Amino acid sequence: MSKAIGIDLGTTYSCVGVWMNDQADIIPNELGKRITPSIVSFIDKTVAVGQQAKDSAFKNIKKTIYDSKRLIGRKYEEKEVQRDKKYLTYDIEKNNETEGVKIIISENKKEYYPEEISQAILSKMKKMSENYTNEEIKDAVITVPAYFNERQRQAIRDAAVAAGLNVLRIINEPTSAAVAFGLQKNNTLQDKNVLIFDLGGGTFDVSILNISNEGIIIIKAIDGDTHLGGEDFDNKLVQYCINEFQEEKGIDVSKNDRAKMRLKIACEKAKQDLSSMEETDIDLESLANGEDFEININRAKFNDLCNSLFTKCISCVKKALEKSKLKKEDIDDIVLVGGSTRIPKIQEKVKQFFNREKLIKNISIHPDEAVAIGATYIANVIKGNIKDESLILLDIVGQSIGIENNGKFEIILKHNLPIPISKEKEFSTTKDNQTSINFKIYQGENENVKDNVFLKEYSIDNIEKGKAGEMKFKVTFEMNVNSILNVKAINLKNNKDVQVNLKDKYSMKHEEKMKEMIKKEEERKKNEEKNEDSIKLKYELIYLCFQEKNQGNKKADILINKIKNEKSFNKEKYDKFFKELYGKK
Ligand SMILES: Nc1ncnc2c1ncn2[C@@H]1O[C@H](COP(=O)(O)OP(=O)(O)OP(=O)(O)O)[C@@H](O)[C@H]1O
Ligand SMILES: [Mg+2]
């Protein structure tokens, strides 16, 4: 049976696993690293993904795209997008057609959806696993933050489909980490409540679950913030450095993308150093106007800068506990995942809150790999590759789904209910001769509908004319195992299905957008192949030149340099140089 992969598509790093010899293998990238930067750069016609894109970031500031997971499935006007815009060193604009975000590569005026950046990363993960297994891989489970709303999930799903993947399931990152935790060999299954504290690069998730002695994982509550993680701590440090530089040298670098990119990379490193050292230096030669920037930062300063964000994490833990109806003391194990849980202050705050000496007993779980390991297991259970299924997963509705009712939020699918689930609601005409009924769907927990996230607008059209209230429809709201919503309706007069139409711009553009993305993926693949072919031709010719050079052909030396400097290579150029090399032979 063909293998299936599990992908943790992270804000800053992504990780992929495949099931082999009864365990999840994490797949190394071309550099042997087990996590790959979620960074994509566009240079000429080629698209670089991962470490290569990160390494060339300085040279391609405006063409290096990171943090796209913070933009995906969001509307441009959302405050989180506007906040990030200040720190991003590439350009984003409003996509008027979808109201979402578009990423602009200024050089060639190309525009990308955030989905396309995720697509390129997922495509790389697919390729890495194909190289590793020597098989074509199609099936995948992809993880998303538990607090991602339905629109964000749909966007990730689209990106995966466009990357040529068959999405077996979209699961929540902390749930996936819980599965990895349950799979630990030294972790004998016994009934316990576990809290997963997942603080990554871009998002924070907290999940409370119960693992029964039969191996059933029941998610009891989730909470989190899709805009809280390592990138925010980096941004706090960057802002601090910008202020210090302004104060010391009187130079404002807040609009200088090159300086900001250098600060961003230096601050991430400083932050990581501060997890193991008490203090560290940031030292950037000629940051702006020929002026150097040097600063010493200690742990206390860093903690101080980020304190409000650290406190926010604990508030989410409190909210999750309330939702789960458990007390602090009821939590048996606390599992830390995500790179940012290496920050000592975070660990201290969690220990303090729970009054514990230690967070997890005798069990080690890899904070960078746990999510991909759980996803790989679930992918292969679904695929039938794992016969003795020791763990079964029961997930829940993460955030309530409902409709607008006179400015208030009327909940239809309440948070914490187990999924898959469906609920029905009756709609009827309210005016004489009304021919359509509209309803707007929101997600969140606020009483006022406007404070929640707007998802979609639907309509039932071409309604037979009649008296107010005469025409009635039963609408079914169904949330599937991927936490994606389906809406259908029947006409109660004749019990026949009626079409429910999407009305808002964001959703309507969906099909078109998908077609465009799949087309671009094919073009990209063709370009990649062409590029590989041209490299092959170029190297073959250089090899021939070397052979000729060794046999005393004087032209060979000059030709080697000429060929080396050729940016794009093709068969015509090959033939031309070939003739030059061998004369009229
Ligand atoms: N030693 C360390 N100290 C502090 N932070 C660290 C350390 N090591 C890694 N990090 C941070 O962890 C973050 C990456 O963590 P991780 O790979 O779990 O996130 P992600 O999966 O990319 O993001 P998300 O899950 O939020 O989408 C980065 O911000 C990185 O700087
Ligand atoms: Mg993560």
Q: For the segment 6-32, what is each residue's pLDDT rounded down to a tens digit?
A: 999 999 999 999 999 889 999 999 899
The closest of 28, 24, 23 to 125, measured between CA atoms, is 28
Taking CA atoms, 242 is separated from 96, 145, 247, 257, 490, in Å, by 33, 31, 9, 12, 59
> Which residue carries 């009924």 as its tokens?
437
Q: Domain for residue 332, yes or no?
A: no
Does one domain contain both 426 and 294?
no
Q: What is the pLDDT of residue 585?
A: 45
Residues 575 and 500 in one domain: no
- End position of a domain, from candidates 270, 305, 340: 305
Question: What ligand is nearest to the CA atom of residue 271?
Answer: 1
**Which ligand 1 atom lies nearest to the CA of residue 13?**
22
Instruction: Give CA–CA dist 36/20, Å, rounded.
Output: 21
The CATH number for 93's domain is 3.30.420.40
Residue range 420-428: mean pLDDT, rounded: 93
Which pLDDT band, with edges at 50, 70 and 90, does 495 fall under?
very high
213 domain-assigned = no
Helices 555-564, 571-582: crossing angle, 10 deg rounding: 160
Encode 314-344: b = buried (16+ Cβ within 10 Å), e = exposed. bebbebbbebbebeeeebebbbbbbbbbbbe
pLDDT at site 362? 41
The first and second tokens of residue 377, run together, are 């297991």
SS3 429: coil
Residues 525-560 pLDDT 10s: 777 667 667 777 877 788 788 788 878 888 888 888
Which of 325, 357, 385 lies at the terminal end of a domain, its last residue?
A: 385
For residues 169 and 299, membership in a common domain is answered with no
Least confident of 27-41, 185-199, 468-482: 185-199
Q: Between β-strands 333-337 and 166-172, what pairing exists: parallel, antiparallel or unpaired? A: unpaired
Q: Is the pTM of this model over 0.75?
A: yes
State the pairing for strand pair 101-105/40-43.
unpaired
Please check whether residue 37 lies inside any domain of the structure: yes
What average pLDDT does this structure show over 343-372?
A: 85
Calculate mean pLDDT across residues 468-488: 92
Q: Are residues 124 and 268 both part of a single domain? A: no
Cα(252)–Cα(202) distance, rounded to whole angstroms?
27
Q: Same domain for 97 and 153?
A: yes
Residue 431 lies in a domain: yes
Sheet arrangement for strand 421-428: 421-428, 472-479, 485-491, 496-498
Q: Select the more confidently predicted residue: 450 or 390.
A: 450
Task: Extract the tokens encoding 477.
Answer: 């709201």
Percent pLDDT > 70 in the chain is: 95
Whether residue 161 is found in the same domain as residue 19 = yes
Q: Work out the average pLDDT over 119-130.
A: 96
Residue 53 located in a structural domain:
yes
- How confident is the model at residue 33, as a pLDDT? 94
Q: How confident is the model at residue 500 (pLDDT cuts 50, 70, 90)?
A: very high
**Does 40 lie in the same domain as 115?**
yes
Query: What is residue 470's predicted lDDT score, i.e. its pLDDT?
Result: 92
> Which residues are identified as catalytic?
8, 69, 173, 198
Q: Which of 2, 70, 4, 1 minimizes the C-alpha distance to 372?
A: 4
Ligand 1 within 6 A of 37 CB?
Answer: no
- Ligand 2: distance of its center to the CA of 398 in Å? 17
CATH of the domain at 265: 3.90.640.10
Phi then psi dihedrals of residue 56, to 5 deg: -95, 10
Asked if the model's pLDDT at residue 136 lies above 50, the reply is yes
Using the atom order of ligand 1, give the atom closest to the CA of residue 337: 18
Domain membership of residue 353 (yes or no) is no
Query: Model confidence over 392-402: pLDDT tens digits?
Result: 788 889 899 99
**Average pLDDT for residues 103-120, to the nearest whole number?**
87
Element (H, E) at 259: helix 257-273
The rounded distance, in Å, linking the Cα atoms of 90 and 77 is 17
**Arithmetic mean of pLDDT, 164-175:** 93
Contact between residue 458 and residue 404 where contact means Cβ atoms under 8 Å apart: no
User: In terms of domains, do 422 and 291 share one?
Assistant: no
Closest-CA residue, ligand 1 atom 3, reads: 272
Dihedral sign for Cα 333, 339, 344, 345, please. Answer: negative
- pLDDT score recorded for residue 105: 86
* pLDDT score for 187: 59
- Distance CA(77)–CA(81), nearest Å, equals 7
Regarding whether 433 and 543 lie in a shared domain, the answer is: no
Q: How many CA atoms lie within 13 A of 519 on its CB side?
A: 6
Q: What is the mean pLDDT of the chain?
A: 90
Q: Which atom number of ligand 1 is nearest to the Cα of residue 8? A: 21
CA distance 287 to 238: 13
CATH assignment of the domain containing 475: 2.60.34.10
User: Of 305, 327, 356, which residue is a domain's last?
Assistant: 305
Say if residue 113 is in the same domain as residue 20.
yes
Q: How many domains does the chain have?
A: 4
Task: Give the pLDDT band of residue 508 (cuts 50, 70, 90).
Answer: low
The pLDDT value recorded for residue 193 is 93
275 CB less than 6 Å from ligand 1? Answer: yes
The verdict on residue 325 lying in a domain is no
Q: Are residues 379 and 408 in the same domain?
A: no
Q: Quote the distance between the C-alpha of residue 579 and its chain's center.
A: 51
The domain containing residue 567 runs over which residues? 526-582
Instruction: Looking at the structure, tell me whether residues 557 and 494 fall in a common domain.
Output: no
Question: Is residue 450 in some structural domain?
Answer: yes
Condensed to tens digits (0 to 9), the pLDDT of residues 290-333 reads: 999 999 999 999 999 999 999 999 999 999 999 999 999 999 98
In the predicted model, what is the mean pLDDT of residues 412-438? 93
pLDDT band at 564 (very low <50, low <70, confident <90, very high): confident
